[in-house]
Structure 1
Amino acid sequence: MVESAGLFSAWLLGLSLGLTACTVTCLPFMGTWVLARQRAVVLADTGWFLAGRVSAYALLGWVAGLSGARLSAELHGGLGHVAIGIASVAAGLWLLLGEGRPRGCTPLRAAHTPPLALGFALSLTPCAPLASLLAFTAQSGSATFGAAQGLAFGLGAAVTPLLLVLPLLAAFGARLKTEQRWLGLWLQRGAGLVLLALGGYRLSLGM
């Protein structure tokens, strides 16, 4: 009963993040990404993005259970910014280069790697709910307990307004491309450049 209450508390803590700061932090990256994508794949991209977040929190909980407070120190040292910067730059390059290749040259599953990486990387930035989770799991000294807490936290954080906002942005982008077909390529290139700029900014913060 005590363990179930702890998991529920971790889920509520993640929910508090998913309904607030998660949207503000993630929207510039994923909003830019979905604007350039086909509307039919946006739900899958959103799912991969959330899968990246959940897996990152589970991993963070596992590591915190092993390493104690050292993990929080590493995250505050700029590791999260560097990871976000790399993931954002990679997503921008994908839009600028990878999407232009013929369909047969790029495996369909590989197209979901950028949102998965963005979701994972965006979970590495320190915030009050995550810091509370890591402090709690660090005291346990158990990797299994930490992973369970992180997983519960991640499932809570996956409940986010992005589930509604991203499809709306994708629909807006699809409408623009339908009404003005020439906008499709420029929207894709513009989104790629924005992601490169966002990635460069995050890298500068982490250096």
Structure 2
Amino acid sequence: MDDFLDPALLRVQASLWGVWLLGVSLGLTACTATCLPFMGSWVLGRGGTQIQLLRDTALFVAGRILAYALLGAIAAGAGTWLAHVLHGGVGNLIIGSASIAAGVWLLRSGVAHAPCNAARNAGTTPPLLLGFSLSLTPCAPLASLLAVCAAAGSIGWGVANGVAFGLGAALTPLLILLPLVSLLGKNLRENRAWITRWIRWGAATVLVLLGFRRILLAL
């Protein structure tokens, strides 16, 4: 019982709880506005089943948690250097590249003579890359996370703080909005087989344009 009353342990738990709440504040606000154009376009163009939607959403969330864990580890080992790098435009460059890759992947999955597994594979890597890259968007909550991890001075605690932050950021309205976007796409395609290709190409074009815009912001 004494372990549960240990002041050091209580401070650690309070710190992780605070970092989790910081992640929640990001997930419920800026995350939705930043991520919806990317993931909404992907889900609409993907036109998959509900199982594929759940998998894509899970991969997107996993990518975010993985990114924050990695950022926490780097910040703990490198101090404030990482925050300066992200503000220098590297984050936007990675986001832009991932968005363009997702758009190209959508186009490949819609080519009639593409490999038979192209459409199946289209639901794996892009959501993970989008989730990972969009976590690099410079913002006040992320800067606070990096400061906490840098002050921790331990890579292990940096990872723990990053994971706690990512789990908080995973609580986002996107979990509700993406199924609605998928349902909209399904209704548009119903009894309109000819429109499927146009929706996919339109969504892919949006992703590519969003990607180029991010890259221009990084330059």
In the alignment, does 2:176 pair up with 1:167? no
Residues 126-135 or 174-183, more deviating = 174-183
SS at match of 2:193: coil
Q: When the two structures are superposed, what TM-score results if normalisation uses the length of structure 2? A: 0.91
Give the C-alpha shift of residue 107 in structure 1: 7.9
In the alignment, does 2:142 pair up with 1:130? yes
1:11-90 matches, within 5 Å, as 11-37=20-46, 38-40=48-50, 41-90=52-101
Distance change >3 Å, CA 115–CA 31, structure 1 → 2: same
Q: Is the 8 A contact 1:39 1:171 kept in 2?
A: no
Q: Between Structure 1 and Structure 2, whose CA radius of gyration is higher? A: 2
Name the CA distance, whole Å, in 1 between partners of 2:70 and 2:119: 27
Name the CA distance, whole Å, in 1 between partners of 2:178 and 2:193: 21
Extract unaligned runs of 5+ from structure 2. 1-9
Q: Is the 8 A contact 2:110 2:197 kept in 1?
A: no
> Aligned-pair RMSD on alpha carbons?
1.4
Extract unaligned runs of 5+ from structure 1. none
Identity %: 53
Counterpart of 2:161? 149
Q: When the two structures are superposed, what TM-score results if normalisation uses the length of structure 1? A: 0.96
Runs ≥4 in structure 1, deviation > 4 angstroms?
Answer: none
Give the C-alpha shift of residue 48 in structure 1: 0.4
SS at match of 1:121: helix
Name the CA distance, whole Å, in 2 between partners of 1:69 and 1:16: 22
Name the CA distance, whole Å, in 2 between partners of 1:13 and 1:133: 8
Give the C-alpha shift of residue 105 in structure 1: 3.2
Q: Is the 8 A contact 1:88 1:118 kept in 2?
A: yes
